[in-house]
Amino acid sequence: MSDDGRITHVAGTGVPVRGNDIDTDRIIPARYLREITFETLGPHAFEDDRKQLNGKHPFDDARFEGASVLVVNRNFGSGSSREHAPQALMRGGIKAIVGESFAEIFFGNCTTIGIPCLTLPATQIESLQSLIEEAPETALEIDVGSGTITAGQATYQAELPASVREAFVSGEWDALSSLLESDDAISAVHDRLPYITGWPAR
Amino acid sequence: MGQTLLDKVWDAHTVRELPNGQTQLFIGLHLVHEVTSPQAFQMLAERGLSVRYPDLTFATVDHIIPTDESTRPYVDGMAEQMFVAIEQNVEQTGIPFFDRSTGRQGIVHVIGPELGLTQPGMTIACGDSHTSTHGAFGAIAFGIGTSQVRDVLATQTISVAKPQCRRITVNGKLADGVFAKDVILAIIGRLGVQGGVGFAYEYAGDVFDAMSMDERMTVCNMSIEGGARVGYVNPDATAFDYLQGREYSPKGEEFDSARQWWTDVASDGDAAYDDEVKIEGESIAPMVTWGVNPGQVVGVDDLIPSPEDVEGLDRRSIQDALDHMKLAPGAPIAGTPIDVAFVGSCTNSRISDLREAARVAEGGRVPAHVKALVVPGSQQVKTEAEAEGLDDIFRAAGFEWRDAGCSMCLAMNPDKLVNDQVCASSSNRNFKGRQGSPLGRTLLMSPAMVAAAAVAGEVTDVRAMAAG
């Protein structure tokens, strides 16, 4: 990320986490929602899956240590709206996610905290995951503006909705500053809603 | 061409189109609970911002609250810390707060409607994915993340893309023993857990027309389990009757004025939809999940599917689910032994849910090896149930009777599964680890089916019990 918040490129190595419908309870179990801060979440991403795999989960595999790009399958991040899920990934070093598809609230939460989520067709996800598994040291580079992902000699053309792409490239992925600009327009909507200002007598 | 309710509510609440291509949407009602809000208040303070409309946000405590302990400070130090945080935050910002001392505390998606805060034509947001529940009244209601909770507190707006609209029509009549929970599980089973991404679901047809508000809330609640962030039913006389006389509902002539506005906000007869799905009510059986997401579901008289039935990654998904659930492919789901039975959650903890469960439990006896608990959705639901004697019925049948909260739906409080226990649950998610034990196994079903399973000690067809 540049100083002005623009996110145009993400570079680093990758980590594949295979499986469809990996929900946010699996990304960060609810017991970690008991903290009143996000700061300590990083080490706990995928904690229960990791325990059950006894060190065989990609997040425990030394070959993928320090990875910045998470590569997943279909409907990643389904379920709970907990922002703790992308916060845990981000604090664990993940800067971008490439997947076949994402759940809606998770996708929005990622955008708001500056993690681009790009999509590729299933066969190309499989190819990218296999490539990373075979050569974990492969340097990945994501051009957020164009959606081009370079992985060693291979390239992939990923998709990102135009509005979201624009938000990253312009540095306005955290919408709050834009929202704050509409002060008068907010008041105008507030003042025209009868359930707020009072129902007219009939 | 007419407009859908989604179109009308969207237009009425649009502040402007943002440079990022999304809509800046005004949020008419913001609900806050203890778990996803402390970081939002912190972010607000860090940026030196105040709460723009404190009278449009209402707070309660539900997620982490113990249901078997009411004395402060709580034994659970982290719960206590979370309570202190929300108490300080509402105190400093002037947000109305329904804690236990008010008699109006409860699960945020139970108390909003119960207090008359939730009304047709509103936009509603809450840092909880089951906010879609409020769509039962013809509101457009979103689950949001914590940064968006911050946005609503600071500006009363969010940046959001307008969804497409899919009308799901269920005509005909439901058989006895088939409930709202079965309808939404059948819909998710058919359209999948991702089928609704990018869509709002409009539920239409005879079956929803005939439902009570409690039942419509159960359906809209689980829209998100089908991938749809928003689900709604067009407001009608059933909704208006429900709202009559509630604490925050308009009164007298104002109610008549509101009723006209609410009527007008419903979808027009000639509205266009981006997609249409039709299901026959008679085709729906009592449903039970067998896997690790709500789309992995069958009728109680069906067989558990086999990985051989499908190909590729779907095959792996089924195998993975069966491995976790320790269930055999091709076996009947009925007869699966259970260890725990849970009646509760924002999906099914309202008075009508408790009545249905009590009707089945009455005269039965939960076997000694089964732990069964009933957790009312709110203090008001609890009071009403006790006035009807439902607590006595449950206790006599061997159920524990608890205080209001989210409890074993997500197990942030001491109510948790242990090891690989199997839980018949009226909640909304059967994800791995959801009920507090990484190895725990959840079977989602209606409250009546949970009560039947509790008494029988195994998954059983509530229709047979009713007939027998």
Residue B467 distance to chain A (closest CA, Å): 36
Q: Are residues B187 and B121 in the same domain?
A: no
Q: Are residues B146 and B11 in the same domain?
A: yes
Answer whether residue A1 shows pLDDT above 80. no
Virtual torsion, Cα A28, A31, A33, A34, nearest 10 deg: -160
Q: Are residues B48 and B87 in the same domain?
A: yes
Query: Does the distance separating the beta carbons of A30 and B129 come in below 8 Å?
Result: no
Per-residue pLDDT reduced to its tens digit, B296-325 = 999 999 999 999 988 776 888 999 999 999
Half-sphere exposure of A151 (CA within 13 A, CB side): 27
Total domains in the fold of chain B: 3
**Residue A146 is assigned to a structural domain of this protein:** yes
Measured CA to CA, the distance from residue A18 to residue B57 in angstroms comes to 40
Question: Which residues in chain A are closer than 8 Å to B145, comparing Cβ atoms?
Answer: 81-83, 86, 105, 108-109, 112
Closest CB to A175 among B20, B79, B128: B20
- Percentage with pLDDT > 70 across chain B: 99
Answer whether residue B467 shows pLDDT above 70. no
Residue B175 is classified by DSSP as: P
Residue B419 distance to chain A (closest CA, Å): 12
**Residue B312 is assigned to a structural domain of this protein:** yes
**Residue B246 is assigned to a structural domain of this protein:** no
**Residue A13 is assigned to a structural domain of this protein:** yes
Answer whether residue B88 shows pLDDT above 70. yes
Residue B351 distance to chain A (closest CA, Å): 25
Measured CA to CA, the distance from residue B70 to residue B66 in angstroms comes to 7
Q: Look up residue A93 and give its two tokens.
A: 């070093």
**Domain finish residue from B138, B160, B182:** B160
ipTM higher than 0.90? Answer: yes
B62 in contact with A at a CB cutoff of 8 Å? no
Query: Among A74, A127, A189, A197, which would you mutate to test the B interface (most chain B Cβ atoms within 10 Å of its Cβ)?
Result: A189
**Domain finish residue from B109, B140, B160:** B160
Q: Are residues B122 and B173 in the same domain?
A: no
Q: Which domain holds residue B127?
A: 5-160
Pick B70 or B121 by higher pLDDT. B121
Closest CB to A185 among B15, B35, B119: B15
Mean pLDDT of B14-37: 95
The model's confidence at residue A202, banded by pLDDT at 50, 70 and 90, is low
Q: Which domain holds residue A61?
A: 9-173
pTM of the predicted model as reported, rounded to 2 decimal places: 0.97
**Residue A151 is assigned to a structural domain of this protein:** yes
Per-residue pLDDT reduced to its tens digit, B388-426 = 999 999 999 999 999 999 999 999 999 999 999 999 999
**Residue A99 is assigned to a structural domain of this protein:** yes
Are B306 and B321 within 8 A, CB to CB? Answer: no
Residue A63 distance to chain B (closest CA, Å): 24
Q: Domain holding B199: CATH number? A: 3.40.1060.10
Q: Are residues B276 and B340 in the same domain?
A: no
Q: Look up residue B441 and give its two tokens.
A: 């196994």
Q: Are residues B172 and B205 in the same domain?
A: yes
Query: Does the distance separating the beta carbons of B129 and A105 come in below 8 Å?
Result: yes
Q: Which amino acid is at A18?
A: R
Mean pLDDT of A135-153: 98
